[in-house]
Chains A and B, each alone.
Chain A
Amino acid sequence: MFSAGAESLLHQAREIQDEELKKFCSRISKLLQAEDLGPDTLDSLQRLFLIISATKYNRRLEKTCVDLLQATLGMAACPEQLQVLCAAILREMSPSDSLSLVWDHTQNSRQLSLVASVLFAQTRPPCSASGWLTGCAMLASSKGSRTPAASSPRPGPGSLGPSTHPRLSFPQPGPITEVDGAVATDFFTVLSTGHRFTEDQWLNVQAFSMLRAWLLHSGPEGLGILDTDDRSEQEGSTLSVISATSSAGRLLPPRERLREVAFEYCQRLIEQSNRRALRKGDSDLQKACLVEAVLVLDVLCRQDPSFLYRSLSCLKTLHGRVRGDPASVRVLLPLARFFLSHGEAAAVDSEAVYQHLFTRIPLEQFHSPMLAFEFVQFCRDNLHLFGGHLGTLRLSFPNLFKFLAWNSPPLTSEFVALLPALVDAGTALEMLHALLDLPCLTAVLDLQLRSLPASSERPLWDTSLRAPSCLEAFRDPKFQGLFQYLLRPKASGATERLVPLYQLLQPMAGCARVAQCAEAVPTLLQTFFSAVTQVADGALINQLALLLLGRSDSLYPAPGYAARVHSVLSSQFLALCTLKPSLVVELARDLLEFLGSVNGLRSRASLVTSVVSPQGGHCADDHTDEAGLPEPRPDPQVPGRGGREASWLSWGRDVASEVFPSRCLEMMAAAQGLSVAVKDEDPDSESSHQLHAQQGGCGSHLHPGHGAADPAEDAQCGPVCAHTQHGGVQPPISPRCQHGPAPGLAHGQPAGGEGGRPPAGMKGQRPGTPVQMKRVRESWERRQGPGWAWHPQRPMGLAPAHPLGFVSEPFSPRQR
């Protein structure tokens, strides 16, 4: 369909040189001048169209050629193929200053229409008027372009009304039927069929197609370009026929008459849509007509509330009919909008409508891309109408997330716009869990589709993936509770740990749809946090901080997902701390537990860094605020502070280059601040005694007064051991330090607590070797110059002014 030959053709059209184009135009000019309207001209014009349209840059055509194109367009005898090509070429050139088309009353309707199409591209009418002008052009073009009929009514809204009843207007070649084959007994509409259609029927179709735009433009909110007098005159003349034959027999002003006709037309369509269409195309059209009818009724009721009570009963009946029909689900959305707009005025209880809409539909139809888009658009565009039902919308976020989990590429931006409205303090924690679990939800939705009877010919799930074990797990009663929780339609107020599901569903973690969802989550998390911080009080902020730390090692194992999420969570954690600085104090114990329990440190480096860096920012030397909490402010009174920081950073870089990736460096350096402060809490704690009792190469160093210990030796001990050096007993953070191999992290530090200890329990790191540590120390000392020793020491200025007693510098090499 698009072959190499076509690619070459496109290339040639783009690359044609001006000289060659000039010659080509001359050739065309000659053909047109000679009024040669045969195949050569057709072929040449097709090529010219391609040349003009293939490039985004302007092509200069000779004025003669342009004039001839315009003239050919106006020729009465010109075949349609050539006329459309001339118009298309002129349109493709637009906007251009070289066109000078004329709207000439002598042109036939097809020509008028083509000229209009060029003019619309050329001029820049205001958007609101373009539709109106389009309508006029269309109707003008249709007049006389179809099968000629005797004295057709003037085009316009008048074509809609009962005067187009077949028996009253024109002789018909056969009866008019409904879409189910029954003979029609009421006026003609777009859902009426016949053996052939006539001029007025064609106008009827066009008029209804433009009806909503007309109503909007003629209403108080419309930006009609006609002044009131002109509009009334036009409406009056076209409707004068109608008003005379109106079944209601009343004479109304034109605008009101238009609305009355529109109302009757919509009611007729709603009735006609209840018939079982014989053809698929007509069945599809019925649903489109229902949507349009409801939209038109909505406009009418807004313009004239007297239509409200007349519309309600038929729309309530319609709602009852379509809610049971999955094929008509998209009609529910304009209906819901109607009830949102007008339900209160009509004292209608719409709660049942929304319950059904938000509870059932997403569960059953999340996989339909068009419905998903329309549903989310409905939520987004009608937020201002939800009023008291906003709570229903908010509680339904688990169901709304199903659309997102299944169709993330087109819906991510929609949800970025919608999410702030869904965020609520009461459900924030549950929502955050749900966002983090979106990729898992995608996998579960796939399983759900596999396990249900197929609703369409083509399978809706990922056909490239077979996951028999996952399907088994989905059907296993043991896990029903967890699956049902994930698939819940509404916020439940409770959270469930879904870790067992992550393992069970691991085979599906790599599938494309899950990956697409996983890519969207970071953006949604950012949006969530922006919104939740507007409504969260102090307690909720604390809970959010703990939640995001807690979930950091509890994520569905989609490839790359954890890394992306950690990156967002770490920056959001810092943001929460900035928003509420007392968070680190209030959650101190929890934060320490987090650090103590950190497994696979490398993978969560960013998060750990963000946890400890706020602590590092609180210095015991700093001033405290009125509440006695530290203010993270540089303290110029601490001498040599800048130098110490520089030294620390330099040391840190050395270590990193030798032993650890840079992320771990940041984390480790920051962690030093944390552990120093913690040790101050209880130098005589049990853990310190345990430390003293420890054997295996560490004990020999565990006494005060130890001098400039060789860190290389210390490196063989656990992190705790490495720092129980000169400057006093440095108890570990937690007794866990005596377990297992020492995290290598610790061994990057100077022995003896300068800058404190890395948190105990940091497992899984390869310890730095003695040789490496010696190299680092030597390089560091070289850099510092004479007088600087690698000497473990308590940082200067440390005073346990508050429970944590953090310091800004992790360590201070003591100058000899």
Chain B
Amino acid sequence: MVHAFLIHTLRAPNTEDTGLCRVLYSCVFGAEKSPDDPRPHGAERDRLLRKEQILAVARQVESMCRLQQQASGRPPMDLQPQSSDEQVPLHEAPRGAFRLAAENPFQEPRTVVWLGVFSLGFALVLDAHENLLLAEGTLRLLARLLLDHLRLLAPGTNLLLRADRIEGILTRFLPHGQLLFLNDQFVQGLEKELSAAWPR
């Protein structure tokens, strides 16, 4: 089960630390067991906690991605791709996984699988003992679908006002946070459905 999916900014390594890591989109599938909190504003506090948890994950992913880029000696990421038709080789994109201990920041221990594509980070927050091969494949698929259907490589586009399309992708390919074993044929079929519901 996926607990959360998020998209956030990745700042280039070795540059001035201007600005903050921004969470551009996040979706939490289901709520965590919250600590017993008899205070009247429990719901608001839960929401605040959830947002902060997601931001903590985004920052950690950004840090891991930056360290990986530095270690590999690659030049600072191109913040803009060369052309909007460029086929992004997602198998070569920086990626990784790390564990989050219990109560830091989630109640339960979680595993995060992440992928960096130009200046965007994509991450899945998983239950502790998930099938990581499947999670990795799903994350790559989601990134590819988002890049294609939101035309994220085209200059000037952004995903801040495109939540409906992101939601459309998630309801088909990661419904309620369930990782699906989708072969190519199924992916194509679902994509056709998506394109029919959301003409480009």
Within 8 A of B (CB), among A47-67: 47, 49-50, 53, 55-58
Report how far A381 CA is from B25 CA in the complex, Å: 32
Q: Which residues of B contact A816 (CB under 8 A)?
A: none
- The contact sample of 21 A-B pairs, CB cut-off 8 A, is A5-B158, A6-B158, A10-B22, A13-B160, A50-B160, A56-B51, A95-B47, A120-B176, A124-B32, A127-B32, A134-B29, A190-B181, A285-B184, A377-B99, A410-B64, A410-B96, A414-B99, A460-B72, A464-B73, A465-B73, A513-B71
Report yes or no: A288 in contact with B19, Cβ–Cβ below 8 A. Answer: no
Query: With an 8 A cutoff between CB atoms, is A94 at the interface?
Result: yes
Report how far A516 CA is from B64 CA in the complex, Å: 11
CB closest chain-A residue, reference B120: A1
Fill in one digit per residue for A443-472: 1 if any B CB lies within 8 Å of its CB, else 0.
000000000000011101111110000000
Report yes or no: B181 in contact with A49, Cβ–Cβ below 8 A. Answer: no
Choose the segment among A208-216, A243-251, A728-736 that binds chain B (4+ C-beta atoms closer than 8 Å): A208-216
Report how far A186 CA is from B127 CA in the complex, Å: 33
Report how far A266 CA is from B63 CA in the complex, Å: 39
Q: Which residues of A contact B153 (CB under 8 A)?
A: 1
Q: Which residues of B contact A45 (CB under 8 A)?
A: 164
Q: Which residues of B contact A127 (CB under 8 A)?
A: 32-33, 108
Report yes or no: B119 in contact with A462, Cβ–Cβ below 8 A. Answer: no
Fill in one digit per residue for B36-71: 1 if any A CB lies within 8 Å of its CB, else 0.
000000111011100110010000000110011011
Give min CB distance, B44 to chain A, whole Å. Answer: 5
Report how far A110 CA is from B167 CA in the complex, Å: 13
Query: With an 8 A cutoff between CB atoms, is B102 at the interface?
Result: no
Report how far A285 CA is from B141 CA in the complex, Å: 12
Query: With an 8 A cutoff between CB atoms, is B142 at the interface?
Result: no
Within 8 A of B (CB), among A415-459: 456-458
Q: Which residues of B contact A195 (CB under 8 A)?
A: 185
Q: Which residues of A contact B70 (CB under 8 A)?
A: 512-513, 516
With A81-B168, A210-B178, A291-B134 known as contacts, the answer to whether A56 contacts B163 (CB < 8 A) is no
Within 8 A of A (CB), among B74-119: 74-75, 79-81, 92, 95-99, 101, 108, 111, 118-119
CB closest chain-A residue, reference B66: A409
Selected contact of A288 from candidates B80, B108, B181, B186, CB within 8 Å: B181
Report yes or no: A120 in contact with B31, Cβ–Cβ below 8 A. Answer: yes
Selected contact of B30 from candidates A42, A82, A120, CB within 8 Å: A120
Report how far A369 CA is from B118 CA in the complex, Å: 19
Q: Which residues of B contact A57 (CB under 8 A)?
A: 48
Choose the segment among A135-143, A593-601, A607-615 that binds chain B (4+ C-beta atoms closer than 8 Å): A135-143
Contact residues of A with B, CB < 8 Å? Answer: 1-3, 5-7, 9-10, 13, 42-43, 45-47, 49-50, 53, 55-58, 80-82, 84-85, 87-88, 91, 93-97, 110, 113-114, 116-117, 120-127, 130-131, 134-135, 137-138, 141-142, 179, 190-197, 202, 205-206, 208-210, 213, 279, 281-282, 284-285, 287-289, 291-292, 295, 330, 369-370, 373-374, 377, 381, 407, 409-410, 413-414, 456-458, 460-465, 511-513, 516
Report how far A7 CA is from B29 CA in the complex, Å: 26
With A56-B48, A206-B178 already in contact, 5 other A-B pairs whose C-beta atoms are closer than 8 Å = A1-B81, A113-B175, A288-B137, A370-B132, A513-B72
CB closest chain-A residue, reference B63: A409
Across the A-B interface, give the 4 residue pairs with the lowest CB-CB distance, nearest first. Answer: A464-B73, A56-B51, A462-B73, A513-B71
Report yes or no: B183 in contact with A113, Cβ–Cβ below 8 A. Answer: no
Give min CB distance, A525 to chain B, whole Å. Answer: 21
Report how far A407 CA is from B98 CA in the complex, Å: 11
With A113-B176, A457-B92 known as contacts, the answer to whether A511 contacts B198 (CB < 8 A) is no
Give min CB distance, B172 to chain A, whole Å. Answer: 10
CB closest chain-B residue, reference A177: B185
CB closest chain-B residue, reference A411: B98
Selected contact of A208 from candidates B24, B167, B181, CB within 8 Å: B181
Report how far A641 CA is from B21 CA in the complex, Å: 59
The number of inter-chain residue pairs (CB within 8 angstroms) is 255
With A1-B152, A81-B198, A84-B171 known as contacts, the answer to whether A58 contacts B47 (CB < 8 A) is yes
Give min CB distance, A69 to chain B, whole Å. Answer: 14
Report how far A96 CA is from B41 CA in the complex, Å: 10
Report how far A2 CA is from B153 CA in the complex, Å: 10
Report how far A381 CA is from B129 CA in the complex, Å: 10
Query: With an 8 A cutoff between CB atoms, is B195 at the interface?
Result: no
Report how far A85 CA is from B158 CA in the complex, Å: 17
CB closest chain-A residue, reference B54: A56
Within 8 A of A (CB), among B129-183: 129, 131-134, 136-137, 141, 152-153, 156-158, 160-164, 167-168, 171, 175-183
Give min CB distance, A287 to chain B, whole Å. Answer: 6
Q: Which residues of B contact A516 (CB under 8 A)?
A: 67, 70-71
Report how far A94 CA is from B31 CA in the complex, Å: 9
Give min CB distance, B9 to chain A, whole Å. Answer: 5
Report how far A91 CA is from B50 CA in the complex, Å: 12
Q: Which residues of B contact A456 (CB under 8 A)?
A: 92
Give min CB distance, B154 to chain A, whole Å. Answer: 9
Report yes or no: B131 in contact with A292, Cβ–Cβ below 8 A. Answer: yes
Report yes or no: B96 in contact with A370, Cβ–Cβ below 8 A. Answer: yes
Give min CB distance, B18 to chain A, whole Å. Answer: 11
Report yes or no: B30 in contact with A1, Cβ–Cβ below 8 A. Answer: no
CB closest chain-A residue, reference B187: A281
Report yes or no: B163 in contact with A85, Cβ–Cβ below 8 A. Answer: yes
Report yes or no: B1 in contact with A410, Cβ–Cβ below 8 A. Answer: no
Give min CB distance, A275 to chain B, whole Å. Answer: 12
CB closest chain-A residue, reference B1: A131
With A58-B44, A117-B176 known as contacts, the answer to whether A458 contacts B163 (CB < 8 A) is no
Q: Which residues of B contact A512 (CB under 8 A)?
A: 67, 70-71, 73
Report how far A85 CA is from B168 CA in the complex, Å: 9
Q: Which residues of A contact B34 (CB under 8 A)?
A: 124
With A46-B162, A84-B167, A134-B177 known as contacts, the answer to whether A121 contacts B186 (CB < 8 A) is no
Report how far A330 CA is from B134 CA in the complex, Å: 11
Q: Which residues of A contact B22 (CB under 8 A)?
A: 2, 7, 10
Q: Which residues of B contact A295 (CB under 8 A)?
A: 131
Q: Which residues of B contact A130 (CB under 8 A)?
A: 1, 30-31
Report how far A191 CA is from B44 CA in the complex, Å: 44
Most buried by B among A131, A206, A409, A464: A409
With A85-B164, A122-B31 known as contacts, the answer to whether A373 contacts B178 (CB < 8 A) is no
Selected contact of A84 from candidates B72, B164, B177, CB within 8 Å: B164
Report how far A414 CA is from B185 CA in the complex, Å: 38
Report how far A169 CA is from B66 CA in the complex, Å: 52
Report yes or no: A409 in contact with B64, Cβ–Cβ below 8 A. Answer: yes
Report how far A208 CA is from B153 CA in the complex, Å: 35
Report yes or no: A53 in contact with B158, Cβ–Cβ below 8 A. Answer: no
Selected contact of B133 from candidates A96, A279, A330, A513, CB within 8 Å: A330
Q: Which residues of B contact A95 (CB under 8 A)?
A: 31, 42-43, 46-47
Most buried by A among B52, B95, B99: B99
Report how far A9 CA is from B161 CA in the complex, Å: 9
With A7-B19, A284-B137 known as contacts, the answer to whether A46 contacts B73 (CB < 8 A) is no
Q: Which residues of A contact B24 (CB under 8 A)?
A: 2, 6, 10
Q: Which residues of B contact A373 (CB under 8 A)?
A: 96-99, 132
CB closest chain-A residue, reference B42: A95
Give min CB distance, A60 to chain B, whole Å. Answer: 10
Q: Which residues of A contact B74 (CB under 8 A)?
A: 463-464
Report how far A58 CA is from B48 CA in the complex, Å: 8
Q: Which residues of B contact A288 (CB under 8 A)?
A: 131, 133-134, 137, 181
Q: Which residues of A contact B71 (CB under 8 A)?
A: 462, 512-513, 516
With A5-B156, A282-B183 known as contacts, the answer to whether A369 contacts B68 (CB < 8 A) is yes
